[in-house]
Amino acid sequence: MVCQEWAGRVSPRLRKTRWGRGEFQSDIGRALGKFPASIFGVLRLHGGIRPAKRVGAARALSSTDREEISRGLASGRSIRNIADCIGRAPSTVSREIARNGGRRRYRAPQADIRAWDRARRPKPCQLAQNASLRRIVVDKLAEDWSPEQIAGWLRLSYPDDVAMQVSHETIYRCLYIQTRGVLKKELQKHLRTQRVFHQSRHGNLGRMRSSIKDAIPISQRPPEVDDRAVPGHWEGDLLSGSGNTHIATLVERSSRFTMLVKVEGKDTRSVIDGLSRQIVTLPESLRRSLTWDRGSELADHKRLTLATDMAIYFCDPSSPWQRGTNENTNRLLRQYFPKKTNLGLYSQEQLDPYSSKLNQRPRKTLGYLTPAESFDQSVALTH
């Protein structure tokens, strides 16, 4: 893994390496000290594809050669003598010195950087060089063919013409890396996934939200949870803000008592840590169950159960009404946390007054008791 820090920016190669391992954008941003939005920008710019590592030509002067040239000039040696020392032709050394400031101004580090920059000669891809092939690919994409289907069809249609064949990976690269200027961005909408950049095979965006391992479905939740007669059953979700920031919300089903939880990110470790820290402050009798949606932030639900002794149930995919109490509470919270609010700026101490304010408002469904009063009654009954 290559990691280079230059002018306060982190090498895109490092971001692609983490992305290739399937890390969330929020995790990558936190590891690099960057906002998740900047991670998205780099991934979008490079199509989510890790750039190939640049390697200097074997015949080119190396950094060691340039250091020897610099030392030779400083000690007053002749060009021929320097050339003999590094095993190069005198003309090669002479040109190197002339193009980098002459005898008096030659410096090895600056000469090395200039040579590296001059060597940037991006090789045009096959689609950029072959207009006929490009037109066929564009037409097939417009007909909703996948890049793999196009590549396979070209091999069958032009078996003896290598110039009219192209790999599906090249088509994807030209679609996702817009700086190539080969295939228009509008063609991305014809892909089945309509993704804006390449996803890692280990990536979190490619996972089905319903693929949480050993998830207990809501259909197996005890009947006592549905009738709200027994306190201690909770519903939870994440409230989203700007810059991929979130807070977790917990609502007790019988009393509508609300807790707001500071989370460092949307990744499962941050969410589980935040929920565990807050839930263990409750009496054990009020830690019966938690119902959550199919978000991957609770993929490590077994660790939450182990930390809180709480049963975790998961809603059916795309069924937010199965957590209706929590959904309604999140709408109420938007009064204090409008969309595009940076929720990462709030500490737990700053969130607590907002949950307290909501818990002190009378609720019609509670006979105009407040959630705090109803919750206190539940606590008294369980002791």
pLDDT in tens, 173-195: 788 776 566 788 788 787 776 66
CATH number at residue 307: 3.30.420.10
Q: Has residue 206 been placed in a domain? A: no
Contact predicate 36/25, CB 8 Å:
yes
Task: Please give the pLDDT value at position 220.
Answer: 92
Q: Has residue 195 been placed in a domain? A: no
Q: Has residue 274 been placed in a domain? A: yes
Q: Kindly state whether residues 275 and 163 are assigned to the same domain.
A: no
Residues of the chain above pLDDT 90, percent: 48
Q: Has residue 324 been placed in a domain? A: yes
Mean pLDDT, the chain, rounded, equals 83
Q: Kindly state whether residues 98 and 134 are assigned to the same domain.
A: no
Q: Has residue 103 been placed in a domain? A: yes
Q: Has residue 172 been placed in a domain? A: yes
pLDDT in tens, 95-134: 999 999 898 899 999 988 888 877 766 667 788 888 899 8
Q: Kindly state whether residues 279 and 337 are assigned to the same domain.
A: yes
Q: Has residue 205 been placed in a domain? A: no
Q: Kindly state whether residues 236 and 352 are assigned to the same domain.
A: yes
Q: Kindly state whether residues 68 and 180 are assigned to the same domain.
A: no
- Specify the amino acid at residue 232: G
Q: Kindly state whether residues 246 and 334 are assigned to the same domain.
A: yes
Q: Kindly state whether residues 144 and 24 are assigned to the same domain.
A: no
Distance CA 289, CA 221 (A): 9
More confident of the two residues 371 and 146: 371
Task: Please give the pLDDT value at position 40.
Answer: 65
Mean pLDDT of 222-234: 91
Range of the domain at 19: 5-45
Q: Has residue 55 been placed in a domain? A: no
Distance CA 334, CA 249 (A): 12
Q: Kindly state whether residues 133 and 84 are assigned to the same domain.
A: no
Q: Kindly state whether residues 31 and 132 are assigned to the same domain.
A: no
Contacts of 70 (CB under 8 A, 6+ apart): 106, 107, 108, 111
Q: Kindly state whether residues 106 and 130 are assigned to the same domain.
A: no
pLDDT in tens, 290-327: 999 988 899 999 999 999 999 999 998 878 889 999 99
Q: Which of 146-160, 165-179, 267-281 has the lowest mean pLDDT?
A: 165-179
Distance CA 172, CA 167 (A): 9
Contacts of 63 (CB under 8 A, 6+ apart): 108, 112
Mean pLDDT of 202-208: 44
Q: Which of 216-230, 278-292, 297-311, 369-383 has the lowest mean pLDDT?
A: 369-383
Helix ranges (DSSP H) in 222-370 = 223-226, 268-279, 301-308, 324-333, 348-359
Identify the H or E element spanning 153: helix 147-157
* 205 has a pLDDT exceeding 80: no
For residue 193, what are the CA distances in angstroms to 60, 188, 199, 205, 323?
44, 9, 10, 11, 28
Q: Kindly state whether residues 148 and 222 are assigned to the same domain.
A: no
Task: Please give the pLDDT value at position 213.
Answer: 86
Task: Please give the pLDDT value at position 52.
Answer: 60
Q: Kindly state whether residues 287 and 332 are assigned to the same domain.
A: yes
Identify the H or E element spanning 108: helix 108-118
Report the number of distinct structural domains present in the chain: 4
